[in-house]
Amino acid sequence: MNTPLKPKGRTLGEFEPLQPAEKKLLAACRDGLETVIAAKRPEDATDENTVRAAFLRFLALGGDGLAPVHEKGVQLQGAWIKDTLDMEGADIPHGLKMVGCNFEATLVFRNAKIAGSFNLSGSQLPGFKGDGISCAGGLFLRQGFKSTEAVRLLGAQIGVNLECSGATFDGGEGDALTADGAVIKGGVFLNKKFTAKGEVRLLGAQIGGSLSCDGATFDGGEGDALTADGAVIKGGVFLNEKFTAKGEVRLLGAQIGGDLACDGATFDGGAGDALTADRAVIKGGVFLNEKFTAKGGVRLLGAQIGGNLECDGATFDGGAGNALTADGMRVAGSFMFRKLKQKVNGVSLSGVQVGQLIDDTDRWGERIRLDGFVYDAISGGAPTDAATRLAWLDKQDNDDAGRNGGGDKFKPQPWRQLAKVLREMGHVEDARQVSIAFEKRLYKANLIGQTPNEWGWLRTWSYRQISRAVHWMFGVLTGYGYRPLRLIFWMIVVGLLCAALYWVAALKGVFSPSDPLVFQHPNYQVCSPSYIAPVQPASAVAPAIQGAGNWYLCEKLPEEYAGFSPLAYSFDVILPLVDLQQENSWSPLIPTPKSIWYAELFSIFDWKHFTRLVLWFEILFGWLSSLLLVAVVSGLTKRREE
């Protein structure tokens, strides 16, 4: 009867005679025991520690009838593995444990299927080709594991954890670890002094637990340090405890089910960004605390953060670029930006929404962007006084802040947002000060009186200048509607000044009674400025008439007629709805107009014409002020106050 043929390398006879270490391994595999060749990883090959890779493959695949392998599989420690262990496409019926071993050649496990766990902890090898590998259990590359070339796990399927704690991955000129598209049902542990020279790649990986890199060192050389773009991580991402990265750490579009914690970490992006998590969805918080240091930009564009974004005690150094760019970010909790080691230049928060802002305003540097930055409250002891917050707004660049005539580039939203929040928090006076500062900045930014271009240059210019003048006066008189009592003050000031002028004018005979029954009555003509005293004989002694020729001072004016009071007259004029019986009883004397226009024009320099001009001004000022006061008090003119 013919004996069935087996593939090459699948019979014990092909490996006779066996090496001493191979004999020990064969006996242990039969009994389900671990074979300990040496307690430590060998540095050189000897007859006593060498196991051929082909013989190891023979046992890993289950041996044969003369060399049965226990269900516990191959368990080997401290051996020197000669030649290439090639398990590509193999179906391994049990777990593999080859710890503390030294492999001469790169391990090849592409598309291999392992029924249990695969443990290479403490081993050293010149690379691992494991694209498409499938492990029902975990993959353990920890406790002194060392690879001198790339470890590839693209599309790997790992049933539990990928554990690389305390390992060293040296990719040489290439990547250190590549696990793009891997599906790992447990966590990924690159922690406890894990070291990688070359990029660590987890693009599109699916991780059922956390990605833990606490205390690790990543050196991407001229490339990125850690890349996990599009990764789905159900747990948190932990880059704490003196985690160090040379090269960019990328989490673009990653989905993180817990926290992104980087407390005490150091990120050095060189000439590029240090940490990038654009469009990441982080259900927990982001923690950049406790001496967190970033050399290069930190980017969180469009990120969604379910907890807090904390930057307490951090150091951001963006160089000539932005230190923190988070445009479009959403933070459900608080944004904490305080106790920083130095001022942070280049912070962009355009379109950002956070729950609460907790900051130290003196830690904000120059070149900050706040257009569209929305926060519900300022809390945690952060300053809420208007002076400090306005200084914070002025840390924006010249165009955004409206300095130097910023024009259409001026961003008004930060002022309106700050005033709104302060008002809702009960800081009404501070909110008013911010609103007033905003109106002044609109004026400075040349945004008052904008008109369509089709109006024509002259009309546009005229409208703008008039609008700016009205806006300026509105600010002077009422604080843009936020200081209505200021208008009463100005009315009193104008009334007193005009009263003083009317008093001087009255002394000069400018005012006369308005009632013709008085100023035309022959008994009172002695009071008229045109009165000429009759010539009396030298011997006659006639008593002097007090105030002759001046209606204001004339003693002949009947007491029944309302005497002229400059103060009452002024306030009768400036208060249009008040009748103090002065404006209807007295008026300034105005001479006949000149026939030559320029003579009439220059006649304003005499007291009668000048008094009339002042009277007109006070009437107009009184009406406008009264209407404006009513409008302000009723709230009609509080523009832009939400």
In a domain, 388, yes or no: yes
What pLDDT shows up at residue 642? 45
In a domain, 554, yes or no: yes
When mean pLDDT is compared across 180-184, 257-261, 298-302, 518-522, the lowest value belongs to 518-522
Tell me what percent of the residues of the chain surpass a pLDDT of 70: 88
In a domain, 361, yes or no: yes
d(C-alpha 621, C-alpha 631), whole Å: 15
Report residue 85: phi and psi, to 5°.
-85, 100
Q: Count how many domains the chain has.
A: 2
Alpha-carbon separation of residue 170 from 41, 142, 148, 223 (angstroms): 18, 14, 5, 14
What pLDDT shows up at residue 12? 93
Whether 481 has a pLDDT exceeding 90, the answer reads: no
Domain co-membership, 393 together with 494 = no
- Contact yes or no for 195/188 (Cβ under 8 A): no
Domain co-membership, 400 together with 522 = no
In a domain, 518, yes or no: yes
Alpha-carbon separation of residue 199 from 129, 163, 171, 222, 544 (angstroms): 16, 17, 8, 9, 113
Residue 86 DSSP symbol: B
Domain co-membership, 289 together with 166 = yes
Structural domain boundaries enclosing 350:
75-424
* Alpha helix (H) residue ranges in 201-279: none
Q: Per-residue DSSP letters for 151-179? A: EE-TT-EESS-EE-TT-EEE-TTS-SEE-
- Two tokens at 350? 């355009």
Look at strands 146-147 and 124-125 and give their pairing.
parallel
Q: Which residues pair with 587 in a beta bridge?
A: 512
Domain co-membership, 350 together with 226 = yes
Please identify, among 405, 424, 443, the residue that sits at the C-terminal boundary of a domain. 424
What pLDDT shows up at residue 612? 86
Domain co-membership, 136 together with 209 = yes
Domain co-membership, 491 together with 410 = no
In a domain, 436, yes or no: no
Please write the tens of the pLDDT for every residue from 60-112.
999 998 999 999 999 999 999 999 999 999 999 999 999 999 999 999 999 99
Helix (H) or strand (E) holding 572: helix 566-574
- Two tokens at 64? 């044969």
Q: At what angle do helices 386-393 and 428-444 cross, to 10 degrees?
A: 30
What pLDDT shows up at residue 512? 84
Average pLDDT over residues 170-187: 96
Alpha-carbon separation of residue 521 from 507, 563, 583 (angstroms): 22, 17, 21
Residue 570 DSSP symbol: H
b/e code 323-353 from CB counts within 10 Å (16+ = b): bbbbbbbbbebbbbbbebeeebbbbbbbbbb
- Two tokens at 43? 């540095």
Q: Of the spans 119-123, 171-175, 402-406, 453-457, which averages the highest pLDDT?
A: 119-123
In a domain, 119, yes or no: yes
Q: Which amino acid is at 409?
A: K
Whether 318 has a pLDDT exceeding 50, the answer reads: yes
How many CB atoms lie under 10 A from the CB of residue 149?
20
More confident residue, 424 or 549: 424
Sheet holding 102-103, edge to edge: 50-52, 80-82, 102-103, 124-125, 146-147, 168-170, 195-197, 217-219, 244-246, 266-268, 293-295, 315-317
The pLDDT confidence band at residue 129, using thresholds 50, 70 and 90, is very high
Please identify, among 424, 457, 473, the residue that sits at the C-terminal boundary of a domain. 424
Alpha-carbon separation of residue 58 from 79, 246, 267, 545 (angstroms): 16, 42, 46, 143
Whether 460 has a pLDDT exceeding 60, the answer reads: no
Please identify, among 398, 424, 450, the residue that sits at the C-terminal boundary of a domain. 424
d(C-alpha 442, C-alpha 403), whole Å: 10
When mean pLDDT is compared across 73-82, 161-170, 615-624, the lowest value belongs to 615-624
Residue 311 DSSP symbol: -
In angstroms, how far is the first alpha carbon of the chain from the final one? 98
Give the chain's mean pLDDT: 88
More confident residue, 276 or 579: 276
d(C-alpha 639, C-alpha 436), whole Å: 11
- Contact yes or no for 143/166 (Cβ under 8 A): yes
When mean pLDDT is compared across 35-44, 300-309, 633-642, the lowest value belongs to 633-642
Average pLDDT over residues 604-613: 81
Burial of 83 (0-12, 13-18, 19+ CB in 10 A): middle
| Entry pTM | 0.82
The pLDDT confidence band at residue 439, using thresholds 50, 70 and 90, is confident
3-state secondary structure of 279: coil
Domain co-membership, 376 together with 514 = no
Return the percent helix, strand and coil in the chain, to nearest 5.
25, 20, 50
- Contact yes or no for 344/363 (Cβ under 8 A): yes
Q: Which amino acid is at 490?
A: W
Tell me what percent of the residues of the chain surpass a pLDDT of 90: 63
In a domain, 25, yes or no: no
Whether 128 has a pLDDT exceeding 60, the answer reads: yes
In a domain, 576, yes or no: yes
What pLDDT shows up at residue 320? 86
